[in-house]
């Protein structure tokens, strides 16, 4: 964020993977010849007095001595500055900082003679680069950054008058995070890390790296709820993305998902266009055969059995070449096993769990000693979700009672988690219980802030946050929760007949969120709608139970927010469902105008899916409706009739019914010609479009002279 705020033309490149061989390539003569040789080399990590701790190809620690660095990095051109933001990098005469300057490999170097805590190291770097990009000499920038270190010492060697940014023009920094293009990991990682960073699971990450180094591979990561399966898969994908130049694509299953939905979302994440009616599995397999690609499919236990079979038979079983897939799901029957099975049966290692507990406590706003954190880690056996719940209740007066119950460990992780949720449920107020009870309504375990506020109210949101049932991510402006919290609510407070009423009560909040989306650009709107697609499908179930005003307002807002069906891959199927539902609602109400609009859009969406017969039926009905409306109110509905006839011609042509297509298109031209004569500024563009289509229709019939005219 500090680099982005400089407005200086900086290229920041993350070394992925952080191996000695990758560093050698980054500092090679070729990098110099391509103007990609760095001015500054920044090392953030672990070190000791005689070297640095890098990684090997599989993510394991690889100690690199100073002698090895000198042997592997025979630099033809010195670096301007090396910042060694790690322990003991300037502890003695043979430490990395001293040697790099003495051998002429760096004009200047900054290092630490003693161990430095991570927060101080980050604050030091932030202050240093802010001043360097503002043009201060190295001496002054380092002196100013000293304030972030408190009593901690550092060493500055070499050219103290070194300056950067003297000739910088204002521009946008370019940051390369080391991930392949295309991918959709950045947003997914951000959602996953809304609560904490990633801790532990080193052995599992190494094992996954070894598997992914020798594709093809389909790996199932299974385990109890809350053990961190999704986080492990995302971290493994992030660390191994460099192996897959074809990209990394992530998709999440919900109880409303179909195999085709997941595959379409994977294709969209890769920027892979699908032709109308094209099988997404076939397109993805062809892509992955040519370009090594990593697919991450999350929460597959939510997928209905028949859809899992379709996914396995149509895609996973056929995945080959140098591509791979990571799947996460809870313990399942053997039918859902992959080629490789990695079962998570234990929580985090004790010290990793203690680090997680301390970070959680910091986010809740209170200090937690290492001794207390280790105590919580032991009590929970390192189960991340159990630990989250315990830390959230740490300051409660009867916390010791809860801790004693957890220590008894009656039952497996699932039983322990149930016990903590039950304990929390007894201590949240009525607003919290009412809010908690609504979580099972939403298949995607997250809600936009606007919807959550309308559904839960301020008191409900505060209580869910305090009880660690739901967390707010300010970056995404959304609330998320673990699926186990929703499952507990479904058992504890079954909604029964109140289910539809609760869904209907949320429609005004959904409408407000959808109206806010109009301010976003189309790609952002598309991504946000896709993220909430399963929840929006569930909201559609309440249209019959809602007041006509609420149902109409929601449908209008959703229609305005949705992209054109041929501008999106991921939402086409949802659009057919929505517009069919909207049409049924309008038919019941006798609202011909809305029915015509909905059927017209349904035809558009069906056509984009390649379902041409169904698209023709919907579009023809829309044209007939507009014809009747135009007879009653020509000034208002003749333009709509012309548009509908134009689309009808396109639908008929797609089915090879050329004479009928020509007739419909000619009618559209005749109407638009009359409209353009009266109002040329408004209707000449529409007339041009219809004339263009008329030329196509005539050409289809071999009437080339007329088509040219």
* 166-197 pLDDT per residue, tens: 656 666 677 777 777 778 876 565 445 545 67
Write the CB contacts of 544 (distance below 8 Å, at least 6 apart in sequence): 551, 585
Count of CB atoms within 10 A of residue 431's CB?
17
Q: What is the DSSP string of 96-116?
A: HHHHHHHTTSEEEEEE-SS--
Residue-wise burial string across 27-46, b where 16 or more C-beta atoms lie within 10 A, e elsewhere: bbeebeeeeebbebbbbeee
Other Cβ atoms less than 10 A from the Cβ of 253: the count is 27
Q: Hey, is 293 helix, strand or coil?
A: strand
- Report pLDDT for 122: 80
- 226's tokens: 């809350």
pTM: 0.86
Helix axes 507-517, 548-561, angle to 10 degrees: 30
Measured CA to CA, the distance from residue 336 to residue 297 in angstroms comes to 13
The token duo for 589 is: 């109400």
In this structure, how many other beta carbons lie within 10 angstroms of the beta carbon of residue 521? Answer: 7
DSSP category for residue 563? P
| Backbone angle region of 162, left / alpha / beta, with phi > 0 → left and psi within -120 to 50 → alpha | beta
**Which residues have CB under 8 Å from 452's CB, separation 6+?**
461, 470, 478, 479
What is the model's pLDDT at position 194? 47
Segments of the chain scoring below 70 in pLDDT: 1-9, 152, 165-172, 186-196, 332-338
Dihedral sign computed on CA atoms, order 348, 352, 354, 359: negative
Q: Please write the tens of the pLDDT for every residue from 452-508.
A: 999 999 999 999 998 889 989 887 789 999 999 999 999 999 999 899 999 999 999
Report in angstroms the alpha-carbon separations of 597 from 354, 564, 602, 637: 58, 14, 9, 11
Encoding tokens for residue 481? 């929760």
Q: Give, in order, the Cα–Cα distances in Å from 485 to each of 401, 492, 671.
A: 21, 10, 58
Q: What is the pLDDT of residue 613?
A: 96
Residues sharing a CB contact under 8 Å with residue 233, sequence separation 6 or more, in sequence order: 221, 296, 298, 326, 327, 328
Q: Cα separation of 519 and 318, whole Å? A: 42
Over the chain, what is the mean pLDDT? 90
pLDDT at 6: 57
Alpha carbon distance 575, 154 (integer Å)? 60
Residues 315 and 303 sit within 8 Å (Cβ to Cβ):
no
Helix (H) or strand (E) holding 481: strand 478-481
- In sequence order, what are the beta bridge partners of 478? 448, 473
Residue 44: predicted pLDDT: 86
Q: How many residues does the chain have?
A: 709
């Amino acid at each position: 964020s500090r680099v982005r705020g400089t407005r200086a033309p900086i290229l920041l490149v993350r070394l992925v993977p952080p191996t000695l061989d990758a560093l050698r390539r980054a500092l090679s003569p070729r990098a110099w010849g391509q103007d990609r040789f760095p001015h500054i080399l920044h090392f953030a990590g672990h070190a000791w007095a005689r070297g640095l701790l890098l990684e090997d190809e599989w993510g394991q620690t690889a100690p690199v001595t100073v002698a090895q660095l000198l042997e592997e990095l025979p630099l033809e051109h010195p670096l301007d500055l090396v910042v060694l933001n790690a322990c003991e990098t300037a502890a003695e005469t043979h430490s990395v900082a001293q040697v790099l300057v003495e051998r002429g490999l760096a004009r200047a170097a900054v290092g630490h003679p003693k161990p430095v805590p991570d927060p101080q190291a980050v604050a030091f770097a932030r202050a240093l680069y802010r001043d360097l990009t503002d043009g201060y000499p190295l001496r002054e920038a380092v002196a100013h950054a000293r304030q972030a270190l408190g009593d901690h010492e550092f060493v500055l060697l070499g050219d103290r008058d070194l300056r950067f940014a003297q000739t910088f023009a204002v521009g946008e920094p370019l940051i390369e995070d080391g991930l392949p293009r295309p991918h959709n990991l950045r947003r997914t990682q951000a959602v996953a890390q809304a609560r904490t960073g990633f801790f532990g699971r080193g052995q599992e990450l190494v094992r996954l790296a070894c598997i992914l180094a020798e594709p093809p591979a389909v790996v199932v990561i299974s385990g109890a709820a809350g053990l961190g399966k999704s986080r492990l898969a995302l971290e493994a994908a992030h660390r191994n993305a460099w192996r897959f130049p074809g990209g990394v694509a992530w998709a999440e299953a919900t109880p409303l998902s179909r195999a085709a939905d997941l595959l379409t979302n994977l294709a969209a994440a890769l920027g892979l266009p699908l032709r109308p009616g094209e099988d997404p599995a076939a397109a993805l397999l062809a892509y992955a055969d040519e370009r090594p690609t990593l697919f991450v499919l999350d929460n597959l236990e939510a997928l209905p059995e028949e859809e899992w079979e379709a996914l396995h038979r149509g895609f996973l079983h056929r995945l080959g070449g140098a591509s791979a897939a990571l799947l996460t799901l809870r313990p399942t029957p053997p039918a859902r096993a992959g080629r490789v099975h990695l079962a998570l049966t234990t929580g985090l290692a004790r010290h990793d769990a203690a680090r997680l507990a301390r970070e959680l406590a910091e986010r809740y706003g209170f200090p937690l000693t290492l001794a207390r954190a280790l105590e919580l880690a032991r009590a929970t056996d390192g189960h991340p979700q159990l630990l989250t719940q315990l830390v959230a209740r740490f300051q409660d007066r009867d916390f010791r009672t809860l801790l004693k119950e957890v220590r008894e460990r009656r039952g497996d992780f699932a039983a322990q988690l149930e016990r903590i949720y039950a304990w929390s449920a007894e201590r949240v107020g009525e607003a919290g219980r009412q809010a908690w009870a609504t979580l099972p309504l939403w298949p995607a375990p997250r809600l936009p802030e606007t919807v959550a506020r309308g559904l839960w109210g301020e008191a409900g949101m505060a209580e869910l946050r305090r009880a660690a049932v739901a967390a707010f991510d300010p970056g995404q402006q959304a609330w998320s929760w673990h699926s186990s919290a929703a499952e507990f609510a479904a058992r504890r407070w079954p909604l029964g007949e109140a289910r539809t009423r609760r869904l209907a009560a949320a429609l005004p909040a959904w409408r407000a969120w959808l109206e806010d989306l109009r301010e976003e650009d189309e790609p952002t709107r598309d991504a946000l709608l896709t993220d909430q697609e399963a929840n929006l499908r569930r909201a559609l179930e309440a249209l019959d139970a809602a007041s006509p005003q609420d149902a109409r307002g929601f449908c209008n807002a959703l229609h305005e927010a949705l992209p054109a069906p041929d501008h999106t891959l991921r939402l086409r199927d949802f659009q057919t469902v929505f517009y069919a539902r909207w049409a049924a609602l309008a038919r019941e109400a006798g609202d011909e105008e809305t029915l015509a609009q909905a059927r017209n859009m349904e035809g558009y969406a069906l056509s984009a899916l390649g379902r041409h017969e169904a698209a023709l039926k919907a579009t023809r009905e829309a044209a007939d409706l507009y014809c009747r409306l135009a007879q009653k109110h020509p000034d208002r509905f003749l333009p709509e009739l012309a548009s509908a006839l134009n689309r009808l011609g396109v639908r008929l042509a797609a089915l090879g019914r050329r004479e009928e297509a020509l007739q419909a298109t000619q009618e559209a031209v005749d109407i638009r010609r009359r409209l353009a004569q009266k109002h040329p500024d408004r209707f000449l563009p529409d007339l041009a479009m219809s004339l263009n289509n008329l030329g196509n229709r005539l050409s289809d019939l071999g009437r080339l002279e007329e088509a040219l005219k």
